[in-house]
Amino acid sequence: MKNTVLSMLEQSEDFVSGEYLSNVLGVSRTAVWKSIKKLREEGYEIKSVTNRGYMLVKKPDLLSAEEISDGLDVSFVGKQIEVLKTVDSTNNEIKRRAAAGAESGLLIAAERQTGGKGRIGRIWQSDEGKGVYFTFLLRPDMPPNEVAEITLAAGYGVCAAVREYTGLDARIKWPNDIVVGSRKLCGILTEMTAQIEKVEYVAVGIGINVNHKEFSEELKDKATSLYIETGHGINRNDFLRAVISELDKVAEQFLKGFTEEHRSKFKELCVTLNRKVTSVRGGKTIEGIAVDITDEGDLIVRDSSGSLININSGEVVVQGIY
């Protein structure tokens, strides 16, 4: 009922009378008024004028599953979408749901995370209402060693969506950060539960800095947002819809098997290649030039002696980037 009132107000550029709403919906004027009251409580700005009715003036800047799903046609990612106001971590929530039997394709976004997680045990700062924080569940039929490529694929999907939606020159910092210039825009944390032979489920958690106008002293040289880069605010529902649509396309390609063309598109957007990188593995520092990425998603580094070394995890510092 509340949603029907909302969509009728959205479709009209003028006032819509309470009488008209109650006739079309077959409910009392008081019921219409109660819906208006609820919408106002949710942050919708609705003007009301005696004898003219109601007019929608401004929508709240809130994530809404309904708005994200509007016109979205997906087969793998976001088949079911939920938005939570507050959660410890959307990754944790997806893992809880997966353990309880949730289906592949479920996506959970949150306005705020009280315990947002980054890679290598770091914290992901999740300011309320500014970023887009979400996790989707996949139950791919594959061995655990192929999961790393899902994360690369997700990074590619987000990067492509940011480029398309904003026109920014977003790039991938291997394995799965998205950067604009030398600062980080997005991070991805993939977690999985598996037996030795087979994956049970994968939770792909993505955090994108969207409407942050500034960052703390500690982060300001390392992090950026779409607002900072484009100079204007972004409608998070529309943007998230674009990201999900791109992730769904990439998931389909991934599940069918990536071709050389997909891999070369990834490499074209990868800012790590042909740069000097440093990585610490097992207490040993590897330094060299990143020359390629294997089909399994490993980074190949040529060190000063000319040896080629595969790096498949851990932190890689890329010269010139945060």
Whichever of 9 and 147 has its CB closer to ligand BTN, that residue is 147
Of 35, 64, 69, 113, the residue at the interface with ligand BTN (CB under 6 A) is: 113
Question: Does residue number 209 form part of the binding site for ligand BTN (CB under 6 A)?
Answer: no
Which of 299, 297, 295, 294 minimizes the C-alpha distance to 318?
Answer: 299
By CB under 6 A, is residue 151 in contact with ligand BTN?
A: no
Stretch in the footprint of ligand BTN (CB under 6 A) among 17-25, 42-50, 62-70, 205-213 = 205-213
Chain residue whose CB lies nearest ligand BTN:
187
In the complex, the smallest distance separating the C-beta of residue 204 from ligand BTN, rounded to whole angstroms, is 9
Tally of CA atoms within 13 A in the half-sphere of 75 that contains its CB: 8
What minimum distance in Å lies between the beta carbon of 145 and ligand BTN? Answer: 21
CB of 158 to ligand BTN, least distance (A): 11
Exactly one of 44, 54, 133, 254 binds ligand BTN (CB under 6 A); which one?
133
53 binds ligand BTN (CB under 6 A): no
Are residues 231 and 220 in contact, defined by beta-carbon separation less than 8 angstroms? Answer: no
Closest to ligand BTN by CB, 189 or 210 = 189
The answer to the question of residue 207 lying near ligand BTN (CB under 6 A) is yes
Site for ligand BTN in 74-103 (CB under 6 A): 89-91
Q: Which is nearer to ligand BTN, 149 or 191 (CB)?
A: 191
- Hey, which residues between 249 and 308 contact ligand BTN (CB under 6 A)? none
Query: 174: how many CB neighbours lie within 10 A of its CB?
Result: 23
Q: Which of residues 164-193 bind ligand BTN (CB under 6 A)?
A: 177, 187-189
Of the pair 91, 245, the CB lying nearest ligand BTN is at 91
Q: Are 97 and 108 in contact (CB under 8 A)?
A: yes
Number of residues that bind ligand BTN (CB under 6 A): 20
Nearer to ligand BTN (CB atom), residue 16 or residue 204: 204
3-state secondary structure the chain: CHHHHHHHHHHCCCCECHHHHHHHHCCCHHHHHHHHHHHHHCCCEEEEECCCEEEEEECCCCCCHHHHHCCCCCCCCCCEEEEEEEECCHHHHHHHHHHCCCCCCEEEEEEEECCCECHHHCECCCCCCCCEEEEEEECCCCCHHHCHHHHHHHHHHHHHHHHHHHCCCEEEECCCEEEECCEEEEEEEEEEEECCCCEEEEEEEEEECCCCCCCCCCCCCCECCHHHHHCCCCCHHHHHHHHHHHHHHHHHHHHHCCCHHHHHHHHHHECCCCCEEEEEECCEEEEEEEEEECCCCCEEEECCCCCEEEECCCCEEECCCC
Report the residue number, 13 or 218, with the smaller CB distance to ligand BTN: 218
Per-residue tokens: 32: 């219409």
Whose Cβ is closer to ligand BTN: residue 177's or residue 248's? 177
- Note whether 159 binds ligand BTN by CB under 6 A: no
Residue 52 Cβ, how far from ligand BTN at the closest point, in Å? 44
What's the rounded Cα separation, in Å, for the pair 21 and 126? 39
Binding status of residue 117 toward ligand BTN by CB under 6 A: yes
Residues near ligand BTN, by CB under 6 A: 89-91, 113, 116-119, 122, 124, 133-135, 177, 187-189, 205-207
